[in-house]
Homo-oligomer: A and B are copies of this chain.
């Protein structure tokens, strides 16, 4: 189906009819990913869910939830219907279905609510055949010190907003109405700044916008229902501020391969300059082979993924909620992570303590998961 005909179909769909928001804010397909600094609402309906290629909001909470009865796929269906109803309203600045604090809904501040499914959501007989092949625990990495409390869940909801109250209100709308059928496992709260708590410019390397269809969005080839969705790899990475700060500034820059000043590679002057890994000074590589960017740099065109880093800070614990989105995590993400695990200078100061993988649903015409249950 061509992009144009797809969009025509979508904008004529039932889900969009009653929205009452401007076309600029709704726009299906690629339009969703365009920066909208003036807009205070993000679309809920469309080919893709908001909150994935959307310019990052200041605040985000990833919510991990387990189903109490994984065999009951009708319960999952009901949960997704309920969340859709609330998200369709809350993201547009309207109260949720049984919202008792409607005044907290009026300033969404680019609120997005983005839903994904873990392996456990596909346990029921009705859905087992619809599980994407890559939706499984990541291979064990030698650097991992994973804690069960930050582990894989059956469901994930990413709630993000530029306003912490809008976010808190929406988080409650996710958790409260499904409590009888689920168990809340964790909430990972983060904030986005452009730098992480190590002071590093973070999230520099990203797929070009015109590669999102290719590198981020699922094409439905393996699982037709997932077309327009994607995969999320969610890693919780503790950062040891004390030992990091014991290192001198030059040592910190060499471990990353970038300047702390503006994030430029050590061979360049601007953040987005292409690093030159072959450059040497006095016979020594300017960017050490063991540096983070040397190890993380893609060895092939497929080793690209969208990075969405949020910092978390719960003194004395702090670190990064490192989220990546890609069509296929095994092909795009895992080879890079394996290299970093094998050797990355930064490993001395960072420890992965949580890891999970999710299939992020396609954007809804009527409700989230509609193609899964079709």
Mark the stretch among A222-230, A312-320, A331-339 that contacts chain B.
A312-320
With A103-B195, A104-B199, A172-B241 known, 16 other A-B pairs at CB within 8 A are A59-B164, A100-B245, A101-B197, A101-B198, A101-B260, A102-B199, A103-B260, A104-B197, A163-B193, A164-B193, A165-B193, A165-B195, A165-B197, A168-B197, A187-B314, A187-B315
Q: How far is the CB of A252 from chain B (nearest CB, A)?
A: 8
Determine if A175 is an interface residue (Cβ-Cβ < 8 Å).
Answer: yes
The 8 closest A-B pairs by CB, nearest first: A101-B199, A165-B193, A164-B191, A168-B313, A100-B245, A187-B315, A103-B199, A104-B199
Closest chain B residue to A59, Cβ basis: B164
Determine if A249 is an interface residue (Cβ-Cβ < 8 Å).
Answer: yes
Determine if A374 is an interface residue (Cβ-Cβ < 8 Å).
Answer: no
Q: Which residues of B contact A59 (CB under 8 A)?
A: 164
Q: How far is the CB of A70 from chain B (nearest CB, A)?
A: 22
**On chain A, which size bracket covers the interface?**
35 or more
Q: How far is the CB of A315 from chain B (nearest CB, A)?
A: 5
Determine if A17 is an interface residue (Cβ-Cβ < 8 Å).
Answer: no
Q: Which of A210-262 contact B (CB under 8 A)?
A: 241-242, 244-245, 249, 252, 260-261
Q: Which residues of B contact A168 (CB under 8 A)?
A: 191, 197, 311, 313, 318
Q: Which residues of B contact A101 (CB under 8 A)?
A: 195, 197-199, 245, 260
Q: Which residues of B contact A316 (CB under 8 A)?
A: 175, 184
Q: Which of A281-325 contact B (CB under 8 A)?
A: 311, 313-316, 318
Q: A103 vs B195: C-alpha distance in the bound complex, in angstroms?
A: 9
Q: Which of A71-123 contact B (CB under 8 A)?
A: 100-104
Contact with B along A192-206 (1 / 0, CB 8 A): 010101110000000
Q: Hey, which bits of chain A sit against chain B, CB under 8 A? A: 58-59, 61, 63, 100-104, 163-165, 168-169, 171-172, 175-176, 184, 187, 189, 191, 193, 195, 197-199, 241-242, 244-245, 249, 252, 260-261, 311, 313-316, 318
Q: A59 vs B318: C-alpha distance in the bound complex, in angstroms?
A: 17
**A249 partner, pick from B100, B165, B176, B187, beta carbons under 8 A:** B100
Q: Which residues of B contact A172 (CB under 8 A)?
A: 197, 241, 315, 318
Could you jot down 7 A-B contacts, CB within 8 Å? A63-B315, A103-B199, A164-B193, A168-B197, A176-B241, A176-B245, A184-B316
Q: A61 vs B315: C-alpha distance in the bound complex, in angstroms?
A: 10
Q: Which residues of B contact A249 (CB under 8 A)?
A: 100
Closest chain B residue to A190, Cβ basis: B164
Q: Which residues of B contact A241 (CB under 8 A)?
A: 172, 176
Q: A313 vs B168: C-alpha distance in the bound complex, in angstroms?
A: 7
A103 and B261 contacting across the interface, CB-CB below 8 Å: yes
Q: Which residues of B contact A313 (CB under 8 A)?
A: 164, 168, 171
Q: Which residues of B contact A314 (CB under 8 A)?
A: 187, 189
Q: How far is the CB of A313 from chain B (nearest CB, A)?
A: 4
Closest chain B residue to A187, Cβ basis: B315
Q: Given A168-B313, A171-B315, A315-B175 in contact, is the A100-B199 Cβ separation under 8 Å?
A: yes
Q: A315 vs B176: C-alpha distance in the bound complex, in angstroms?
A: 10
Q: A165 vs B260: C-alpha distance in the bound complex, in angstroms?
A: 16
Q: How far is the CB of A250 from chain B (nearest CB, A)?
A: 12
Interface centre among A63, A187, A193 (most CB of B within 10 A): A193
Q: Which residues of B contact A245 (CB under 8 A)?
A: 100-101, 176
Q: Which residues of B contact A175 (CB under 8 A)?
A: 315-316
Q: A189 vs B199: C-alpha distance in the bound complex, in angstroms?
A: 21
